Amino acid sequence: MKNDLLLRALARQPTDSTPVWLMRQAGRYLPEYNATRAKAGSFLKLAKTPALAAEVALQPLTRFPLDAAILFSDILTVPDAMGLGLYFAEGEGPRFERPLRDEAAIARLAAPDPTVELRYVLDAVRETRSALGDRVPLIGFSGSPYTLACYMIEGSGSSDWRAVKEMLYARPDLLHRILAVNALAVTDYLNAQIEAGAQVVMLFDTWGGNLTAVQYEEFSLSYMRQVLSQVRKVPRIVFTKGGGGWLENIAASGCDAVGLDWTVDPSAARQRVGAKVALQGNLDPAVLCAPPSRVREEVRRVLDAFGTAPGHIFNLGHGITPHARVDAVEALIDEVRTYSRQLRAARV
């Protein structure tokens, strides 16, 4: 591997600079991505065409000196493969034609065979890894069992997840049934991505933060722990948006790194979890709408808070937004590289 900064940081080994990659680094803020998406005709066609998915996965690495590539796909490909009918309404985000509200439908739910129903994703992994060669590691990913369940039950995104919460309180047995199937599906999916060439995998628990502390353990973390115990031994990152109160439990789940959102104080996070896991994060994505000079200030603030101890991967506290400035992203990556080296040199 020509650039193994990410792998060494995930193993909590010293690095000469802090590795950096960005959640949603291939996305609508890049004009070349928008051109490829227009060529594909729709987001789903783009994601389901392996050659185009590989093309957009590599676009940010062509433009920026990033330390990792991430598979271009969507977390909702798994429930789509279960037959729920994923589609994207213009200006409204993802929706399912057949959300899980009926007990009989939940009883019929089954984990898909990723080598069949999700073969296009695995082909995208292979094409991306082949195009990368040994340049940087390739990250595969899945939504967490609970986050997938949120969309599967609600049928779309939501501000309050009312249908999910109603099921959680009134029929927790049905929610547990969905989560059990999802945990099996996510495990099979991640293992298939690893077999196809992914060298790191990440669980996106985007909506785990809408649970109480007790509910988080029962409905989210316990199922992620189950997945982690059965996924092949590559480095594994867990990110729960809004999960800052549960860092110790997440760190003990079997993962190699914990993702932090922008609400978490990095120095406090390191004190809480010690050296057991690497930490990833946690710049506020909104800063990328600001001028580059302001971005550099915020990058330095984050790096100062994390310090120079091994085991930090610089990232955003959530995904990059379509409104991010390209010059701001460029400034972010350059400042991570230069300032983290300065910090290490000063320590020596």
pLDDT in tens, 243-258: 999 999 999 999 999 9
Tell whether 261 is covered by a domain. yes
Q: Residue 116 CB: number of other CB atoms within 10 A? A: 8
Would you state the pLDDT for residue 163?
97
Q: Which of 238, 140, 231, 145 is nearest to 187 (CA)?
A: 231
One-letter identity of residue 295: V
Determine the average pLDDT of the residues in 62-85. 97
Tell whether 157 is covered by a domain. no
Would you state the pLDDT for residue 317?
98
Determine the average pLDDT of the residues in 145-163. 96
Taking 90 as the threshold, does the pLDDT of residue 93 lie above it? no
Determine the average pLDDT of the residues in 271-291. 97
Beta bridge partners of 240: 205
Counting the structural domains of the chain, the total is 1
Q: Is 28 tagged catalytic?
A: yes
Q: Is 236 tagged catalytic?
A: no
Assess whether the previous peptide bond of 282 is cis (omega < 30° from 0). Answer: yes
Tell whether 193 is covered by a domain. yes
Which of helix, strand or coil describes residue 117?
A: coil
Taking 80 as the threshold, does the pLDDT of residue 348 lie above it? no
Taking 80 as the threshold, does the pLDDT of residue 90 lie above it? no
Give the contacts of 12 (CB within 8 A, at least 6 positions apart). 275, 277, 278, 310, 311
Determine the average pLDDT of the residues in 217-222. 98
For residue 268, what is the domain's CATH number? 3.20.20.210
Q: Which of 5, 157, 124, 115 is nearest to 67 (CA)?
A: 5
Domain that holds residue 275: 5-86+118-148+181-347
Tell whether 105 is covered by a domain. no
Mean pLDDT of the chain: 97
Tell whether 91 is covered by a domain. no
Annotated active-site residue in 28, 101, 126, 325: 28
Q: Compute the residue count for the chain.
A: 348
Token pair 């920026």: residue: 64
pTM: 0.97
Q: Residue 38 CB: number of other CB atoms within 10 A? A: 10
DSSP 156: B
Q: What percent of the chain has pLDDT over 70?
A: 100
Q: Is 151 tagged catalytic?
A: yes
Annotated active-site residue in 37, 129, 225, 296: 37
Annotated active-site residue in 29, 33, 146, 151: 151
Annotated active-site residue in 74, 80, 188, 205: 74
Annotated active-site residue in 4, 8, 12, 24: 24
Tell whether 167 is covered by a domain. no
Taking 80 as the threshold, does the pLDDT of residue 91 lie above it? no
Taking 90 as the threshold, does the pLDDT of residue 168 lie above it? yes
Determine the average pLDDT of the residues in 65-86. 97
Tell whether 342 is covered by a domain. yes
Tell whether 92 is covered by a domain. no
Would you state the pLDDT for residue 190?
98
Query: pLDDT of 51-67, one tens digit each?
Result: 999 999 999 999 999 99
Taking 70 as the threshold, does the pLDDT of residue 336 lie above it? yes
